[in-house]
């Protein structure tokens, strides 16, 4: 069992319930300036069609460094038929011809974000949310899917109260958008998400390698 396999199972079950919905990746691998600054070596371990969310802001690299890395990732994604979203930089998404963008919760909270005419804003749009209010804002903004976190306790956000299995499942049932589980999802917890209605998984690591 691997997290990638579990993500595929969740996505398959979600697609059976939403046969007319837009096809979405089963998982999103998120880059991180400290934990996963360069995801390219891991992409060959991910399923075809998986999503990569590139997160590299001003404190990650200078503008030229971000552009070079984004282009490397874009080329690797094309070779694997994987989906690249750019977080926090719509202009960069346009330059590298990404497949879409990922929005922080604060951008959705402003209430003024809407799809525009730019290439990135016509692509796949995901957003980060942490509760029911943000879920409603995301649906109102017309984005395609949300990453809901933290589902379980996670070391990356110590002290933040996790939603837990039951709360997460309830939010998924009441969501107008497809929901991905993010935060504390690992081999010991992913089984709790079966039957939750989630469209898949998201995380910084854990999707590579082989299961037992």
CATH classification at residue 16: 3.20.20.70
Q: How far is CA 8 from CA 28, 87, 188, 198, in A?
A: 11, 23, 17, 11
Q: Taking a C-beta distance cutoff of 8 angstroms, is the pair 209, 178 a contact? A: no
pLDDT of residue 159: 75
Collapsing DSSP states into helix, strand and coil, what is residue 130?
A: coil
In sequence order, which residues have a C-beta less than 8 Å from that of residue 26 and are 6 or more positions away? 4, 7, 8, 10, 11, 12, 47, 49, 50, 199, 200, 201
**What is the reported pTM?**
0.93
Nearest CA to 144 among 177, 120, 117?
177
Residue 95 lies in a domain: yes
Element of type H or E holding 169: helix 164-174
| Predicted confidence (pLDDT) at residue 40 exceeds the cutoff of 50 | yes
Domain range holding 7? 3-203
pLDDT of residue 1: 61
Residue 170 lies in a domain: yes
Residue 182 lies in a domain: yes
Q: Taking a C-beta distance cutoff of 8 angstroms, is the pair 211, 5 a contact? A: yes
| Predicted confidence (pLDDT) at residue 6 exceeds the cutoff of 80 | yes
pLDDT of residue 205: 79
pLDDT of residue 117: 55
pLDDT of residue 28: 98
- The predicted model gives 24-29 an average pLDDT of 98
Give the Cα separation of 50 and 1 in Å (integer): 17
Q: What are 106's two structure tokens? A: 């604060």
Residue 210 lies in a domain: no
Pairing of strands 179-182, 100-103: unpaired
- Lowest-confidence segment of 17-21, 57-61, 134-138 by average pLDDT: 57-61
Residue 188 lies in a domain: yes
DSSP string, 14-27: HHHH-TTSPP--SE
Number of domains in the chain: 1
pLDDT of residue 12: 97
- The predicted model gives 44-71 an average pLDDT of 91
Read off the pLDDT of residues 105-130 as tens digits, 9 standing for 90 and up: 999 887 667 666 554 556 999 999 99
| Predicted confidence (pLDDT) at residue 211 exceeds the cutoff of 50 | no
pLDDT of residue 118: 54
Residue 11 lies in a domain: yes
User: Angle 173-179-183 (CA atoms, 0-180°, nearest 5)?
Assistant: 115
Q: Which residue has the higher pLDDT, 93 or 156?
A: 93
Residue 209 lies in a domain: no
């Amino acid at each position: 069992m691997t997290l990638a396999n579990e993500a595929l199972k969740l996505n398959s079950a979600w697609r059976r319930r939403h046969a007319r919905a837009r096809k979405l990746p089963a998982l999103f691998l998120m880059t991180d300036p400290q934990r996963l600054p360069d995801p390219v070596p891991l992409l060959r371990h991910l399923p075809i069609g998986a999503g990569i969310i590139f997160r590299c802001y001003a404190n990650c690299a200078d503008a030229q460094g971000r552009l070079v890395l984004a282009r490397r990732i874009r080329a690797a994604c094309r070779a694997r038929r994987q989906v690249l979203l750019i977080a926090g930089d719509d202009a960069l998404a346009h330059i590298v011809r990404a497949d879409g963008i990922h929005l922080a919760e604060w951008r959705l909270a402003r209430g003024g974000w809407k799809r525009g005419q730019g290439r990135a804003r016509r692509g796949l749009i995901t957003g980060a949310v942490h509760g029911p209010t943000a879920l409603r804002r995301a649906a109102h903004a017309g984005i395609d899917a949300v990453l809901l976190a933290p589902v379980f306790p996670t070391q990356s956000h110590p002290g933040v109260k996790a939603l837990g299995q039951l709360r997460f499942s309830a939010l998924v049932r009441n969501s107008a958008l497809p929901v991905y589980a993010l935060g504390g999802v690992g081999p010991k917890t992913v089984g709790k998400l079966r039957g939750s209605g989630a469209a898949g998984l998201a995380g910084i690591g854990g999707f590579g390698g082989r299961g037992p």
